[in-house]
């Protein structure tokens, strides 16, 4: 026998070595095991029916049936081992016959009965008992969605039986519970044991997991399953989309085949296998529900084989295996057709019988194809092998479970989904690896060809790079020198203007004339500098447009008005022929003004007499603007050249008229940047017509028409702009004496010339000016003095203006101390960074004197208004609402914060006020509040409101700050009383209550009248604690909530006063008095009796009134002025005499 076994083993190894000589031994063993196992199942022997019933018989025993008893707290029961099973080979038994066949049932010994491929019907019988006193609703779930027919029999209350049909031969809408599995409701009466029967029958392999669950357990189980399905199908959809996009991009058919494999195998087949397709895709198509599973399986086999052949290039590497795979593909297509045959026919039986067997053979064939491809040097096959091995394992486990060869469990039930999930990801990686390999081959082929081309281009590229570098250096030089010219220009123009205004004394007319020439020359140079900067920015595409609807007629009106000084003595008329109803254009208003200034300025410059007219009309989605003149005209050969950089019509014109030749070049680029185009129509002696297009702003109503912003780019109209601003601005020196105010301005610049220019400008306006040469000097100056406005340069040594601004903003908000940047940096990014750091305004040098003065005056005025508002609405209140200015506050704004609330009140103020006149009352209150209020602010609190003689303050940070403020306030009152004593005025006493809790800050009222307020129980509690100070004879009481959050609880002496309860509230709060030497006159005695008093309070709260009375007596004996002890003593004696109430805590209103 031993020899025979060894001989058989050698023969098997010989066969493996002969058939698969290239495979390692471990692959041979795997193939041998899988091959014979699958073929053994594929062969239909005469004993097939008996073999199919064997798994059923193995699960049955003759033991008596157990009754499943419901238990409190248990919500899920697995009924597999609690049922007995009767096989009905012909499916002919009626329900009554089954009920009489007690001895024919056999008890199940497995959790999930597996009936495999069986033509028999099976009856399942189980008993349920409800020992509880209430009816229980339970759900019976049959956890397999692909059972053809199910009939569930449950007893009725009248003794009869209710039959509930189910199965995939019925439409989904016929199910009692709309679920992918079959679910039945069981109403279990209290104290009753019931029998239940289930008849199942199916043409395919199936098993019957039976679960009894409560509604909540069922919902939780279903939720977990849905999460798993969501993850799995989400992954499949992502992979389908990902590979479909790749196929559309690279047109590699491997991706198309893989997408089809994913679609049929991993999407449709899996969705049908787990019942989701019946629920969501074809719920009421019964015929298709009974045929789709086999059809999808067959198509999945076909496309999977097709993908494997193409991806692994089986036809080139293993032709014989390729023919075998083609045969399997033909069988798969035949199987797909057979699955559509009518039920209970030979063709239908054939499709069911051979479906899983062909799937097993195809799976093994694909696996060995990958192995051959890997062994023959296909580098992409390694991913394929690992991926397909996971699918093979999952598929084989699922198939063998269907035949009953493996036990049914979570892992065997969902083995195919787990394996396919891994396979999907790995095959996508395999496709990516395949694509990388192909691309690498292509790149290697191209590299050798490109090397020669690259060598030929290198010399040319080096030359081009050198030219680009020289061009870049030139542009950077122009940009940098243009920026650097701004500083000296600012000094020249600024000092000249201040001298012209009389900053250095009176001047003769000739001197004024010469200075005006200096200013004019400086401005011309400034215009040239701006043209160079714009030219550089346009070339490097650094200009960003801020597009919005712009009404052209108003903009043209402003530009023509500001261009009038250019006419001089010429007989020339400027005409605005833009119709009033012309629609707006979508443009950057500043750049549109620049375009018009350049075109109108050129027209005025080259036209000696006649007119310059601006007109416009619409053309489709554009507005065509025309600037016409009656000048000498332009020859046609120059129509394009004049739009190039540094070009003018001819040499004589250059000598007759000044200019850089950049204006029209910049104009064309700006027009094109807007999406339009510009051209010129002209001939010698007939004038010129410059026409350009701008896009219309659609859906803008006339009611939205806005006046143009008066911010002009440097142009010949700047002198007129200065005159306009001067006429509208009244310097402080001209104000009447009653309006004068000594405003202080801090100017920060590292250039002495710039500082002197600003000093000259501001001194004439009676501003008090302080100079700082760098950022640190500015910060030091702010520590010594307050200022109304700061003029700040950006480019300074050691500390930039941005850093200085950020440092100032950490102490002063923008509405309290305006900061205006005054710098030569004019890039958009510079302006944005300036405002991001907290600037109020941003001006570029050289700035118009009158514009600067007007902006200074406006910012100081707005700052003073904001500071005035802050007296009524604290800045802290606005910050908690998320606003920086009171202008942003809206009705209904609110925020919730934890804060400490302070309530302070003058005791017996009514009596005191009756003795004073109204004026004396207000003088007294203002004197008192002016002493107390700063203490609150110093300790990081803010006053929410004054309530007559009372103060309500909020401390948003540490409650310790609130306590420190309260103690300092009491000390300040002591000093205040000393002063009043000297004036023969009566002393005052105040009480303070502190409580910490959540507050709601917000605005209430209506649109025309609103105010900020705080709503919370914490506010009421703090007010009540202040009211208790007189009752307990102490100036300061805090709550337990405040005491627990003190950062320095040991800083002051405090004494436990017990618990009190607000009337209308159930819960009481613990309170403490805080006392220090100087706050209470009997401090030594209170401190000495502290432990005795607190022990008496504890006894009082524990309802031991005799012990409490003795303790309070001892306290009073040592400190007769202890009001709190007397209060508690009186309550203790009353309770001893009258009896204890339910709650001994004092109640305050």
Tell me the sheet residues that pair with 166.
150
Nearest to 252 by CA among 402, 86, 436, 506: 436
pLDDT of 56 over the 80 cut: no
Mark out the alpha helices in 550-650 (DSSP H runs): 552-563, 589-606
pLDDT of 494 over the 80 cut: no
Is the domain spanning 544-723 CATH 3.30.565.10? The answer is yes
Q: In percent, how much of the chain has pLDDT > 90? A: 21
- With beta carbons less than 8 A apart as the criterion, state whether 1025 and 1034 touch: no
Mean pLDDT confidence for 574-601: 90
Give the confidence band of 714 by pLDDT, cuts at 50, 70, 90. very low
Indicate the domain borders of the chain.
2-42, 59-224, 252-346, 544-723, 730-871, 880-1148
pLDDT of 371 over the 60 cut: yes
Mean pLDDT confidence for 824-853: 84
CA 395 and chain centroid, separation = 43
Q: What is the pLDDT of residue 256?
A: 86
What are φ and ψ of residue 581, in 5° steps? -95, 15
Mean pLDDT confidence for 1065-1094: 86
Q: Is the peptide bond before 846 cis (omega within 30 degrees of 0)?
A: yes
Tokens of 81: 């081992």
Mean pLDDT confidence for 735-755: 71
Q: What is the pLDDT of residue 959?
A: 93
Nearest to 726 by CA among 633, 852, 642: 852
What distance in Å separates the CA atoms of residue 356 and residue 117, rounded to the nearest whole number? 11
- Greater confidence (15 vs 264) lies with 264
DSSP helix/strand/coil, 1122: coil
Highest mean pLDDT among 118-132, 285-299, 507-521, 881-895: 118-132
DSSP helix/strand/coil, 1085: helix
Tokens of 511: 């001197």
Q: What is the pLDDT of residue 18?
A: 30
pLDDT of 7 over the 80 cut: no
DSSP helix/strand/coil, 1136: helix
Give the confidence band of 42 by pLDDT, cuts at 50, 70, 90. very low
Hey, what's the torsion of the CAs at 989, 994, 1000, 1005, to 10 degrees?
A: -10
Contacts 24+ apart (CB under 8 A), 66-70: 66/127, 67/127, 67/128, 67/129, 67/193, 68/126, 68/127, 68/128, 68/129, 68/212, 69/128, 69/129, 69/131, 70/128, 70/129, 70/130, 70/131, 70/132, 70/136, 70/138, 70/188
Q: What is the pLDDT of residue 797?
A: 81
Count of residues in the chain:
1149
Q: What is the pLDDT of residue 313?
A: 78
What secondary structure letter does DSSP report for 1080? B
What distance in Å separates the CA atoms of residue 630 and residue 611, rounded to the nearest whole number? 6
Q: What is the pLDDT of residue 1043?
A: 92
DSSP letter for each residue of 809-875 = HTTS-TTTS-EEEEES---HHHHHHHHHTT-SEEEESSPPHHHHHHHHHHHHHHHHHHHHHHTTS-H
Distant-in-sequence, close-in-space partners of 137: CB < 8 Å, separation ≥ 6: 185, 186, 187, 188, 214, 215
Is the domain spanning 880-1148 CATH 1.10.760.10? The answer is no
The pLDDT mean for the chain works out to: 79
Q: What is the pLDDT of residue 231?
A: 82
How big is the CA angle at 180 (ends 177 and 183), to the nearest 5 degrees? 40
- With beta carbons less than 8 A apart as the criterion, state whether 115 and 59 touch: no
Give the confidence band of 690 by pLDDT, cuts at 50, 70, 90. very high
Mean pLDDT confidence for 982-1011: 81
Highest mean pLDDT among 460-464, 584-588, 664-668, 738-742: 584-588
Q: What is the pLDDT of residue 12?
A: 35
Tokens of 317: 């590497």
Q: Which residues in 880-989 belong to E strands, given as ranges?
A: 894-906, 942-947, 950-955
- Greater confidence (105 vs 441) lies with 105
Q: Do domains 59-224 and 880-1148 have the same CATH topology?
A: no
Q: What is the pLDDT of residue 827?
A: 72
What distance in Å separates the CA atoms of residue 149 and residue 242, rounded to the nearest whole number? 40
Mean pLDDT confidence for 211-231: 88
pLDDT of 747 over the 80 cut: yes
What distance in Å separates the CA atoms of residue 324 and residue 347, rounded to the nearest whole number? 24
Q: What is the pLDDT of residue 724?
A: 38
What distance in Å separates the CA atoms of residue 684 and residue 633, rounded to the nearest whole number? 4
Stated as kind and residue range, the H or E segment containing 878 is helix 875-880
Mean pLDDT confidence for 897-920: 85
Tokens of 742: 């000594």
Give the confidence band of 892 by pLDDT, cuts at 50, 70, 90. low
Give the confidence band of 143 by pLDDT, cuts at 50, 70, 90. confident
pLDDT, tens digit, 9 for 90 and up, residues 718-739: 333 333 333 333 333 333 444 4
Give the confidence band of 1074 by pLDDT, cuts at 50, 70, 90. very high
Q: Which residues in 73-228 belong to E strands, given as ranges?
A: 76-78, 84-88, 106-108, 114-116, 121-130, 136-142, 149-155, 161-166, 182-188, 192-201, 206-207, 210-214
Largest CA distance in the chain: 138
What distance in Å separates the CA atoms of residue 833 and residue 339, rounded to the nearest whole number? 72
- Greater confidence (711 vs 985) lies with 985
Sheet of strand 678-682: strand arrangement: 571-576, 609-619, 622-629, 688-695, 678-682
Residue showing tokens 């009186």: 1130
Give the confidence band of 648 by pLDDT, cuts at 50, 70, 90. low
pLDDT of 612 over the 70 cut: yes
What distance in Å separates the CA atoms of residue 123 and residue 56, rounded to the nearest whole number? 12
Q: What is the pLDDT of residue 182?
A: 92
Tokens of 951: 């103060």
CA 705 and chain centroid, separation = 36
The radius of gyration of the chain's CA atoms, rounded to the nearest angstrom, is 48
Mean pLDDT confidence for 1023-1029: 88
Hey, what's the torsion of the CAs at 1118, 1123, 1124, 1125, to 10 degrees?
A: 40
Residue showing tokens 């309290």: 816
pLDDT, tens digit, 9 for 90 and up, residues 543-559: 778 889 999 998 999 88
Nearest to 770 by CA among 845, 782, 499: 782
Q: Which residues in 620-743 belong to E strands, given as ranges?
A: 622-629, 678-682, 688-695
Neighbours of 177 (CB within 10 A): 14
Q: How many Cα atoms are found within 13 Å in the side-chain-facing hemisphere of 303?
A: 21
Q: What's the CATH code, domain 730-871?
A: 3.40.50.2300
- Greater confidence (813 vs 57) lies with 813
Mean pLDDT confidence for 1058-1068: 74
Q: What is the pLDDT of residue 38?
A: 37
- With beta carbons less than 8 A apart as the criterion, state whether 805 and 839 touch: yes
- With beta carbons less than 8 A apart as the criterion, state whether 977 and 988 touch: yes
Give the confidence band of 165 by pLDDT, cuts at 50, 70, 90. very high
Class in CATH terms, 59-224: mainly beta
What distance in Å separates the CA atoms of residue 217 and residue 139, rounded to the nearest whole number? 9
Nearest to 341 by CA among 331, 353, 333, 349: 349
pLDDT of 707 over the 70 cut: no
Distant-in-sequence, close-in-space partners of 1025: CB < 8 Å, separation ≥ 6: 903, 993, 994, 995, 1037, 1038, 1039, 1071
Q: What is the pLDDT of residue 53?
A: 40
- Greater confidence (10 vs 179) lies with 179
- Greater confidence (521 vs 1110) lies with 1110
Q: What is the pLDDT of residue 878?
A: 61
Give the confidence band of 901 by pLDDT, cuts at 50, 70, 90. very high
pLDDT of 808 over the 80 cut: yes
Stated as kind and residue range, the H or E segment containing 547 is none
């Amino acid at each position: 026998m031993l020899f025979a076994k060894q001989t058989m083993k050698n023969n098997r190894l010989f066969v493996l070595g002969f058939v698969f000589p290239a495979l390692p031994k471990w692959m041979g063993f795997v193939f041998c095991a899988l091959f014979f196992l699958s073929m053994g199942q594929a062969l239909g022997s005469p004993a097939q029916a008996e073999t199919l019933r064997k798994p059923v018989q193995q699960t049955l025993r003759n033991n008596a049936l157990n009754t499943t008893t419901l238990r409190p707290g248990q919500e899920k029961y697995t009924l597999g081992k609690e049922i007995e099973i009767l096989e009905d080979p012909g499916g002919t038994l009626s329900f009554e016959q089954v009920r009489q066949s007690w001895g024919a049932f056999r008890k199940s010994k497995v959790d999930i009965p597996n009936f495999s491929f069986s033509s028999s019907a099976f009856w399942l019988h189980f008993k349920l008992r409800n020992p509880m006193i209430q009816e229980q609703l339970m759900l019976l779930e049959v956890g397999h969605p692909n059972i053809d027919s199910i009939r569930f029999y449950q007893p009725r209350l009248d003794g009869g039986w209710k039959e509930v049909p189910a199965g995939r031969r019925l439409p989904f809408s016929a199910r009692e519970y709309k679920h992918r599995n079959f679910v039945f409701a069981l109403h279990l009466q209290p104290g009753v044991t019931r029998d239940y029967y289930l008849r199942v029958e199916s043409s395919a392999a199936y098993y019957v997991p039976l679960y009894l669950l409560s509604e909540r357990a069922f919902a939780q189980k279903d939720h977990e399953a849905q999460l798993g399905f969501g993850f799995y199908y989400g992954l499949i959809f992502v992979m389908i989309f990902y590979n479909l996009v790749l196929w559309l991009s690279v047109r590699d058919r491997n991706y198309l085949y893989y997408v089809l494999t994913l679609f049929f195998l991993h999407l449709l087949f899996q969705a049908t296998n787990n019942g989701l397709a019946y629920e969501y895709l074809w719920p009421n198509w019964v015929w298709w529900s009974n045929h789709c599973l086999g059809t999808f399986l067959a198509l999945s086999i076909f496309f999977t084989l097709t993908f494997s052949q193409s991806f692994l290039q089986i036809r080139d590497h293993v032709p014989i295996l390729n023919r075998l795979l083609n045969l399997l593909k033909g069988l798969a297509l035949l199987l797909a057709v057979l699955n559509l045959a009518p039920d209970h026919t030979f063709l239908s039986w054939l499709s069911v019988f051979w479906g899983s067997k062909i799937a097993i053979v195809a799976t093994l064939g694909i696996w060995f194809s990958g192995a051959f491809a890997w062994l023959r040097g296909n580098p992409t096959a390694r991913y394929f092998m690992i991926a397909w091995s996971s699918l093979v394992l999952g598929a084989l486990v699922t198939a063998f479970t269907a035949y009953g060869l493996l036990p049914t469990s979570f892992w065997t039930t969902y083995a195919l989904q787990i394996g396919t999930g891994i396979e999907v990801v790995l095959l996508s990686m395999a496709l990516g690896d395949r694509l990388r390999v192909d691309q690498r081959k292509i790149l290697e082929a191209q590299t050798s060809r490109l090397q020669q081309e690259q060598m030929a281009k290198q010399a040319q590229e080096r030359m081009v790079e050198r030219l680009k570098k020289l061009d870049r250096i030139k542009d950077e030089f122009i940009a940098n020198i243009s920026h650097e010219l701004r500083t000296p220009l600012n000094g020249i123009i600024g000092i000249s203007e201040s001298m012209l205004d009389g900053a250095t004394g009176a001047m003769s007319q000739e001197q004024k004339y010469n200075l005006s020439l200096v200013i004019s020359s400086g401005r011309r140079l400034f215009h040239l500098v701006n043209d160079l900067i714009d030219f550089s920015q346009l070339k490097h595409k650094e200009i960003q447009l801020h597009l919005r609807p712009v009404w052209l007629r108003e903009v043209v009106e402003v530009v023509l008005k500001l261009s009038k000084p250019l006419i001089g003595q010429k007989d020339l008329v400027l005409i605005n022929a833009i119709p009033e109803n012309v629609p707006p254009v979508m443009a950057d208003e500043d750049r549109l003004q620049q375009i018009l200034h350049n075109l109108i300025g050129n027209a005025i410059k080259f036209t000696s007499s006649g007119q310059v007219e601006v007109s416009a009309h619409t053309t489709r989605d554009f507005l065509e603007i025309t600037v016409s003149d009656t000048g000498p005209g332009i020859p046609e050969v120059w129509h394009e050249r004049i739009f190039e950089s540094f070009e003018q019509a001819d040499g004589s014109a250059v000598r007759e008229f000044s200019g850089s030749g950049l204006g029209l070049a910049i104009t064309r680029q700006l027009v094109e940047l807007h999406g339009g185009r510009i051209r010129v129509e002209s001939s010698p002696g007939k004038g010129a017509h410059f026409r350009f297009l701008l896009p219309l702003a659609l859906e803008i109503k006339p009611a939205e028409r806005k006046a143009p912003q008066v911010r002009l780019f440097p142009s010949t109209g700047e002198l007129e702009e200065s005159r306009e601003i001067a006429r509208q601005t009244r310097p402080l020196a001209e104000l009447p004496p009653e309006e004068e105010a000594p405003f202080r301005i801090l100017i920060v610049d590292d250039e002495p010339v710039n500082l002197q220019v600003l000093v000259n400008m501001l001194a004439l306006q009676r501003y008090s000016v302080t100079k700082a040469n760098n950022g640190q000097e500015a910060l030091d100056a702010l520590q010594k003095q307050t200022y109304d406005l700061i003029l700040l340069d950006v480019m300074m040594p050691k500390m930039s203006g941005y850093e200085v601004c950020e440092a100032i903003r950490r102490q002063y908000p923008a509405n309290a101390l305006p900061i205006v940047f005054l710098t030569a940096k004019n890039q958009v990014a510079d302006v944005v960074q300036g405002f991001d750091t907290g600037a109020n305004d941003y001006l570029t040098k050289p700035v118009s004197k009158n514009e600067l003065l007007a902006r200074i005056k406006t910012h100081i005025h707005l700052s003073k208004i904001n500071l005035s508002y802050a007296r009524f609405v604290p800045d802290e209140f606005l910050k908690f609402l998320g606003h920086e200015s009171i202008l942003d506050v809206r009705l209904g704004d609110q925020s919730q914060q934890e804060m400490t609330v302070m309530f302070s009140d003058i005791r017996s103020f009514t009596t005191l006020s009756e003795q004073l006149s109204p004026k004396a009352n207000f003088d007294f209150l203002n004197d008192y509040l002016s002493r107390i209020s700063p203490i609150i602010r110093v300790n990081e609190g803010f006053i929410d409101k004054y309530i007559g003689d009372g103060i309500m303050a909020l401390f948003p940070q540490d409650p310790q700050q609130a306590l420190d403020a309260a103690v300092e306030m009491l000390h300040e009152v002591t000093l205040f009383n000393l002063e009043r004593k000297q004036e023969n005025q009566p002393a005052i006493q105040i009480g303070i209550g502190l409580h910490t809790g959540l507050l709601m800050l917000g605005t209430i009222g209506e649109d025309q009248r609103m105010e900020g307020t705080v709503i919370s129980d914490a506010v009421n509690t703090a007010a009540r604690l202040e009211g208790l100070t007189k009752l307990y004879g102490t100036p300061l009481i805090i709550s337990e909530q405040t005491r627990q959050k003190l950062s320095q609880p040991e800083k002051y002496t405090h004494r436990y006063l017990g618990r009190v309860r607000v009337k209308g509230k159930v819960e009481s709060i613990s309170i403490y008095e805080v006392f220090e030497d100087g706050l209470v006159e009997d401090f030594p005695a209170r401190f000495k009796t502290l432990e005795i008093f607190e022990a008496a309070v504890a006894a009082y709260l524990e309802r031991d009134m005799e012990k409490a009375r003795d303790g309070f007596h001892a306290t009073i004996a040592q400190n007769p002025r202890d009001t709190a002890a007397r209060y508690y003593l009186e309550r203790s004696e009353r309770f001893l005499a009258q009896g204890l109430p339910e709650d001994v805590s004092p109640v305050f209103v």
